[in-house]
Amino acid sequence: MQISKIPPLHLSAQFLLLHLIYSLFQIHIPVQSNGDYILFILDHDIKTVNILDPTPIDPIYQYNPHARYVHKILWIAEYLTKAMSKACPGSRWNENIFLWRQKIIHDIPVQNRELSGYLVTHFMPTWEDENLHLPVLKDGYELRKQISGQLLTFKENECENNMPAGILEFISCIREIQNKAAQLCSPI
């Protein structure tokens, strides 16, 4: 089985949503906890769990910020090997990630509980070489607008046939603008 053909795997618990996006060396796991979202990035090459949390740190954890994530990492460690053995038998993802180095990323530009779900979906494609490469976002409205545009113009949108004609015209306008912008940016 090719790595690119592995389907995303959904596991859910009452307080946790685990969505695995498998790549060759990393797995991105958005986790929902108490209405907030956190992104865990497991890097197999350097045996590191990177934690991107856009919510402000609770004063209870100011002296030991890693304590906030212990239960979540234990849960991921328990279910990751089971999930990967089903999704990709013989996978190299069979180690106990709880024993890996844990690194909290602190340079997250927006700390707002209401935007945590949007920010996590924005972090996933911009993560590269242990750094976030984020465009400057002035506010939550701009972030919501960007993500809504991306979702609506997604080429494999299975709900597109059910949308009203006015919305479809709007989507085609957005796609035309995106295509023109891509043509302007591409070298001739």
| Verdict on whether the full-model pTM lies above 0.85 | no
* pLDDT (average), residues 159-184: 79
Task: State residue 102's pLDDT score.
Answer: 92
In one-letter notation, the amino acid at residue 67 is A
Q: What is the pLDDT of residue 100?
A: 92
Share of the chain above pLDDT 90, in %: 6
Contact 38, 120 (CB under 8 A): yes
For position 17, what pLDDT does the model report? 34
DSSP result, 128-185: ETTEE-PPP--SHHHHHHHHHHHHHT-TT-TTGGGS-HHHHHHHHHHHHHHHHHHHHH
Residue 49's pLDDT band, with cuts at 50, 70 and 90, is very high
